[in-house]
Amino acid sequence: MTQVPTVTPARLDPLTVAEIAGVVTAIRADPRIGDNPRFWGIALDEALAPAGLEGSPRPVRVVVMNPDAHAAWEVSAWTAPAGGQTGAAVVNGWRDVDARRPGVSSEEARMVAAAARKDPGLIAALAKRGITDVSLVWVDPESITGFEPDDLSDRRLSWGTVWYRESVEDNGYARPVAGLVPIIDLETLEVVRLEDHGVVPMATETGMYSSGTWGPDRTVAPLEIVQPQGPGFSVDGQLVRWQNWSFRIGFTHREGLVLHELSYRDGDVERPVVKRAAVNEMYVPYLDSDPTAYRKNFFDWGEYGAGPLTASLELGCDCLGEIRYFDAAVLDGHGEAKTIANAICLHEEDASILWKHVNTRTGSAEVRRSRRLVISAFATVANYDYGFYWTLYQDGAIELEIKLTGIMSVSGIADGERPRYGRMIAPNVQAPTHQHYFGIRLDMAVDGELNRLVEVHAEAEEDEELNPYGNACKLVETVIGSESVGGRKADPARALHWRIENDHKANRYGDPTAYRLAINNTTGLFARPGSVVERKAPFVSKHLWATPYAAEERFIAGEYPNQAPLGEDGVQAWQQADRPLENSRLVLWPVIGVHHFPRPEQWPIMPVDTISFRLEPDGFFDRNPSLDVPPAEPDGDHCAVPTGAAGDHGHGGHDHDHGHHGH
């Protein structure tokens, strides 16, 4: 079932197609954008969005470029009123933006690729490799930030990875055209430089992965998820309620899926936990000095944008059960307002055991199954596919699972050579070592807007009088008081984690109510100090950053990271102000990451690799908040084992007559 678009959006609801189209019409009336304008997204200005009547005009920012004039602007505007009210969108401000800095839209990428395929130099270089049908060649314009040639650095640039397909339906990412690197002017659509590092034999093996390519499919038994009474959640516009949780679903150009106003109903009280949560940036550096690989280091959100890359789940749905979809509206690179049908998936999942105990003295048992609510979206970033699964649990926990799948970005390799900084994954194909970092933004609101951050770790008790047996272990708490200490590192070996506390609210033990944040998926950057990779994304040097809320500090790697001076903007720059963090509107920026040493088993398509982080109540409640979860219905008892079916083990599911056998 597909949601009818909300016609009277509430304050922070996603922009509608009608709102976007109205604003673009108003911008198009201005001659300065020229005859060939390009757009890089529209976003609600959340900080300025007025509370009040639904359907009121809302403030937005639009990035528009005039490539013929080497000019770009951030346009401020108000949407037309919605919900049957009359009036038009109003443009009220143009701010110059460095023409190199807006990110690249998919439409701009396709224009660039089409133009590059007509370049005589590239055509000749492809012919040297035996490729004469240029229509089967892909050129992916990649962000060049930090690697702009000195004599071209005033231009809006891209560099190209080049791929070959044996047919239109072939997997192009399986056949890298090695050695060729076009540098492309995104505005004039010219190949301004072409590096040719020599011919390498093309991959000979197919990279297809459709059913039957590698032999007959295996047999699997049917598995059905049935919810005979429908789902356990309710939806009203963008507002979702599920058991004790409630939140609003948002969506932006830059971040894609956003959750607003996440709160937990505790008895009769709605208790806020997180004001706003989103995956704010990705950084993917490749760690290989090969001439066609060393430039690969991407801000996938800041240099492209998650919203328009969000996959329509009409093109392959990933969830089982009673599903509710939400559409999303985006502005494409040509200025068209478009709907991504079924962009966001909402569904419940069984999640194994919530809690359990068997009383072996009496033979009685209490067990509860865990149910979780999943709000998910997938983004397809050229070769890679990333799933973002925000998951709510019955015990008050919040989890973000990121699923990495799709096709690895590979390089060609000559016969007889071994990859020094990668792995052979097919004949003449190597997958370079690389990393994926995700900068998450959490506007915290544990029991209210003012919170503080406390770091906690385990430490042996050094006082021998207090610790006569040598086993005593302390919990050491450190308040993170200001930004000079606001960048923190995880350390699982010391059980290091963080508490987000409300110092004005106490639980029944007199402790501040709090949530706990633990980050277990981390990696270190192995780039030499001073290198582009090291300077481009300083935020990856820590695993958690804390800042006080500031309206213009929206993105962890800065507002416009494409072709930006390295490290100029972003969380590490804001920290220089050393603002106090205690009792502030605390914004947390967890950075989770994975070091990816490729495996042959991840080719030609990668089984999902999952990384995650969790927020758990930590003195937020007075006891286990899930004691009211009912036992499974008798007819829903999936553990029942028919008599005799347990075989020789003799421990059928309903055998409660066994005695106590000790340990």
Query: Nearer Cβ to Ni ion, position 129 or 596?
Result: 596
Tell me the backbone φ, ψ of residue 611, rounded to 5 degrees.
Answer: -125, 160
Percent helix / strand / coil, the chain, rounded to 5: 15, 40, 45
- Torsion region of 69: left, alpha or beta (phi above 0 gives left; psi -120 to 50 gives alpha): alpha
Q: Is 26 helix (H, G, I), strand (E, B) or coil?
A: helix
* Spatial distance between the Cα atoms of 221 and 227, rounded to a whole number of angstroms: 20
Residue 274 and residue 442: Cα distance in Å, rounded?
A: 7
Which residue, 532, 458, 541, 455, is CA-closest to 500?
A: 455
Question: Are 49 and 59 contacting, i.e. CB atoms less than 8 angstroms apart?
Answer: yes
Q: Are 17 and 82 in contact (CB under 8 A)?
A: no
Counted residue by residue, the chain has a size of 663
Task: Using the minimum distance from each CB to Ni ion, give the nearer residue, 27 or 402.
Answer: 402
Stretch of 100-108, 415-423, 554-562, 594-602 contacting Ni ion, by CB under 5 A: 594-602
Residues 607, 609, 613: CA angle, nearest 5 degrees: 155
423 binds Ni ion (CB under 5 A): no
Per the structure block, which two tokens stand in for 124? Answer: 């000749």
Residue 609, SS3?
Answer: strand
In sequence order, the β-bridge partners of residue 612 are 401
Residue among 61, 324, 596, 614 that touches Ni ion (CB under 5 A): 596
Stretch that binds Ni ion, among 48-56, 135-143, 503-511, 596-604 (CB under 5 A): 596-604
x/- letters, 549..588, toward Ni ion (CB under 5 A): ----------------------------------------
Which is closer to Ni ion, CB of 26 or CB of 400?
400
CB of 404 to Ni ion, least distance (A): 6
- Rounded to a whole number of angstroms, the minimum distance from the CB of residue 455 to Ni ion is 30
Nearer Cβ to Ni ion (441/596): 596
Least separation in angstroms between residue 207's CB and Ni ion is: 16
* CA 328 – CA 307 distance, rounded (Å): 8
Nearer to Ni ion, 174 or 392 (CB): 174
Q: Which is nearer to Ni ion, 324 or 596 (CB)?
A: 596
Q: What is the CA radius of gyration of the chain?
A: 27
Which residue number, 296 or 596, has a Cβ lying nearer to Ni ion?
596
- 155 sits near Ni ion (criterion: CB under 5 A): no
Q: Which residues are catalytic?
A: 300, 384
Q: Which stretch binds Ni ion (CB under 5 A): 123-131, 172-180, 420-428, 591-599?
A: 591-599
Handedness of CA 310, 311, 313, 318 (dihedral sign): negative
Contact 123, 129 (CB under 8 A): no
**Residue range at the interface with Ni ion (CB under 5 A); choices 116-124, 200-208, 362-370, 589-597:** 589-597
Structure tokens at 604: 């030609």
CA pair distance 618, 455, nearest whole angstrom = 13
- Asked if 374 and 319 touch (Cβ cutoff 8 Å), the reply is yes
| Cα–Cα distance for residue pair 552/559, rounded to 1 Å | 8
Between 58 and 596, CB nearer to Ni ion = 596
Taking CB under 5 A as the binding criterion, the range among 146-154, 193-201, 592-600, 632-640 that sits at the site for Ni ion is 592-600
Residue nearest to Ni ion (CB): 596
Closest approach, Cβ 429 to Ni ion, in A, equals 15
Number of H-type helices and E-type strands within the chain: 6, 31
- Near Ni ion in 234-263, by CB under 5 A: none
C-beta of 418: minimal distance to Ni ion in Å?
20
Q: Which is nearer to Ni ion, 369 or 596 (CB)?
A: 596
CB of 403 to Ni ion, least distance (A): 12
411-412/38-44 β-pairing: unpaired
Question: Rounded to the nearest whole angstrom, what is the least distance from the CB of residue 267 to Ni ion in the complex?
Answer: 45
**Residues in binding contact with Ni ion, number by CB under 5 A:** 1
| Separation of CA 9 from chain center | 25
Q: Are 346 and 235 in contact (CB under 8 A)?
A: yes
- Using rule CB under 5 A, residue 296 touches Ni ion: no
Q: Which residues pair with 270 in a beta bridge?
A: 265
* Least distance between Ni ion and beta carbon 593 (Å): 11
CB of residue 436 to Ni ion, shortest distance in Å: 6
Q: Does 403 bind Ni ion (CB under 5 A)?
A: no
Residue 246 token pair:
């409630």
Which residues here bind Ni ion, judged by CB under 5 A? Answer: 596
